[in-house]
Structure 1
């Protein structure tokens, strides 16, 4: 599938796909951090999670600002627009509302936070780690991408008192012209040098009319992807895929710095195996597929965010017969990265559990084997395997509130 073939989908389907890509980033966090805890202990989670989001979010925030044409303004409204179009606030898994009071001040509040509902059963210490220790530096790192004098401070946040308090949290965002500017995180500076961070995504004209072509106009308190045009949504979907891979690479880079490259590959393979499986299941339903044949596997591979955007990944899938196909990754920016961070590093290392998870999420009988071509990334996919028990990474992904998320459409907004 070529990069612009996303235009085969209408506005509603692209809005749905964008939300699925946001969810995919959350699945990556659940499985990646689970592997981190299992391999290196609970204490590893906090430091890696902070590095993870601080490394990726300033980079993808600026990318989305440019792509949706609301860059160049360092106001609170610009900060909020960025938050509305990032996978850290996955639509519907997080119910976030925004209010701008002036160019220098505004607030946002979470009527519902899926991540909090995931974490509360683990007790108040786990909630404090996520909602205080991790959010304080990472929220400010996101704000710094727009204005180094911006600060995000909590009005109230969990642990919830009383236990059913709504909204779950509320934050003030303030720009103080007298404040000392915060420096760009070192991890973000490193990520900004990657080919992924510098990737150019072309905007093509859509075949259908209606919707916002960009987000240069007024900010909406609650943004829905259906408000955008087909052309804008194809860019948003690809930028969300960039966000996904920036987060993967930033996590692997942090794990490698703390525990070594072998440890980073192990965490990433587990992450890929669990999250790709459940995303393949979701995409099967989204595409209306039964998962019964090789054509369904090929179709999911063509659209799966693990191999998007196509400006970064260059895939070729050749159908052999009704039960088999050959997958090849050709030379592309993903394979040209100089740092060994990203799922391409897992594939280059000959580790196939992640790719196996992706295809088995379509058909439980799918099996992946390296095709033996020296110096190339090439695998044979055959539907001749046994229907074995789901691996631990998949069980973890499915044992979450996230897995139960059922996304709703905003069809009425298509009339805009």
Structure 2
């Protein structure tokens, strides 16, 4: 199935890809608020560990294969972080140093996630920067080398309170390190259809870079990639979101009292991130058509994973690998219009959808109301994140050599 992103220009895709990476980070800004409400801060932290540890090794390997930088060294780990929804560029401003193939450091000159949790108090900072990061950094590194260790030099809570950089970490690879074993959720997520879906190969003859096989760059200049490569990156980033959401859903369902509570938490997460994502996509691409934004939204991408088509004022959805996985699209349909409404109303507050069909096959028709709809509570909660209004800046992309 051809990528829906292939309809965009190279310049549009270069602007959209970092937006998609940031949208992936906002999944947690949306979802974890409802986990805290349901089960408390400590259980929220456990959900986050299981969520990221289940998904990140799977999608990290996918991006390595797609962009031709598979390896076992720290450069491979750092390239993976630059293309990871857990570390969106600038919002999570990673700065890298490579000492040799097996040793390096990174620091965060700015951590948007820290900016979001610091106002909540030290307990929340410790949950994120200690309880969650310790196991999940190693879980991400294991995708490249099970003998890798990611360890803090310093990290929050910040002392003094305005300490910069926000944190610093070492990465060391040594065969003497006992190999890190993936956490249990990984073995479920690696068997999903999202983990194995085949996407269009990158056209090596397209103008621009077709891979990331060269040197590690200080900041990835997405405009250097070809249109074909950017469409593949965009699809892979959307799959990262689906994999993270599937892992989140796995963690939520093990804690929910019943299926109704699980669906409530998962739907609230989707509504929140869907609305903010639509706002950012519309803004970066200059779109005012709600259905065009819906067509390019991570909810419906990649096309090889989510079966749907926009024709006129209608979106028609059919069974797909995504619906079989129980991905986001499974939370939409007749009687489940709220995520779709959040998307179209982010573009036009007077827009709405009417949905007809059954659970497997349905059509959403765009309609217009006389009065603008209020912002959904879930979208308002997600907008509290500094990532909702974050603005990217131009950066020079320089090669990083061992120091």
Separation in structure 2 between the aligned mates of residue 23 and residue 197 of structure 1, nearest angstrom: 21
Q: Does 1:297 align with 2:290?
A: yes
Aligned pairs for 1:21-32 (under 5 A) are: 21-32=20-31
- 1:169 shift after superposition: 0.6
Aligned to 1:333: 321
- 1:43 shift after superposition: 3.0
Contact 1:83/1:89, CA 8 A, preserved across alignment:
yes
* Stretch moving more, 130-139 or 404-413: 404-413
Q: Report the number of matched residues.
A: 397
Q: Deviations over 1:252-289 (max 9, x none)?
A: 11100121433221112111112111221222222323
Instruction: Specify whether residues 412 and 166 from structure 1 end up closer, same or farther in structure 2 by C-alpha distance, changes over 3 A only.
Output: closer
Aligned to 1:368: 353
- 1:348 shift after superposition: 5.9
Q: Deviations over 1:270-328 (max 9, x none)?
A: 11112111221222222323x3xxxx112111211111111111212232xxxxx2221
Separation in structure 2 between the aligned mates of residue 314 and residue 17 of structure 1, nearest angstrom: 22
Instruction: Specify whether residues 394 and 4 from structure 1 end up closer, same or farther in structure 2 by C-alpha distance, changes over 3 A only.
Output: closer
Contact 1:347/1:377, CA 8 A, preserved across alignment:
no
Of 123, 138, 141 in structure 1, the residue corresponding to residue 139 of structure 2 is 141
Separation in structure 2 between the aligned mates of residue 168 and residue 227 of structure 1, nearest angstrom: 30
Aligned to 2:304: 311
Aligned to 2:239: 242
Separation in structure 1 between the aligned mates of residue 94 and residue 360 of structure 2, nearest angstrom: 47
- 1:40 shift after superposition: 2.7
Separation in structure 2 between the aligned mates of residue 411 and residue 74 of structure 1, nearest angstrom: 27
Instruction: Specify whether residues 82 and 412 from structure 1 end up closer, same or farther in structure 2 by C-alpha distance, changes over 3 A only.
Output: closer
Contact 1:226/1:411, CA 8 A, preserved across alignment:
no
Q: Secondary structure at the match of 2:353?
A: strand
Aligned to 2:217: 220
Separation in structure 2 between the aligned mates of residue 375 and residue 134 of structure 1, nearest angstrom: 36
Aligned pairs for 1:2-401 (under 5 A) are: 3-71=2-70, 73-205=71-203, 209-210=207-208, 212-259=209-256, 260-289=258-287, 291=288, 296-319=289-312, 325-337=313-325, 340=326, 342-347=327-332, 350-372=335-357, 375-384=360-369, 386-401=371-386
Contact 1:317/1:328, CA 8 A, preserved across alignment:
yes
Contact 2:334/2:359, CA 8 A, preserved across alignment:
no
- 1:104 shift after superposition: 1.4
* Stretch moving more, 361-370 or 83-92: 361-370
Aligned to 1:408: 393
- 1:9 shift after superposition: 2.8
RMSD of the alignment, in Å? Answer: 2.0
Question: Structure 1 regions of 5+ residues with no counterpart?
Answer: 320-324
- 1:55 shift after superposition: 0.7
Contact 1:154/1:171, CA 8 A, preserved across alignment:
yes
- 1:377 shift after superposition: 2.7
Question: Structure 2 regions of 5+ residues with no counterpart?
Answer: 399-403
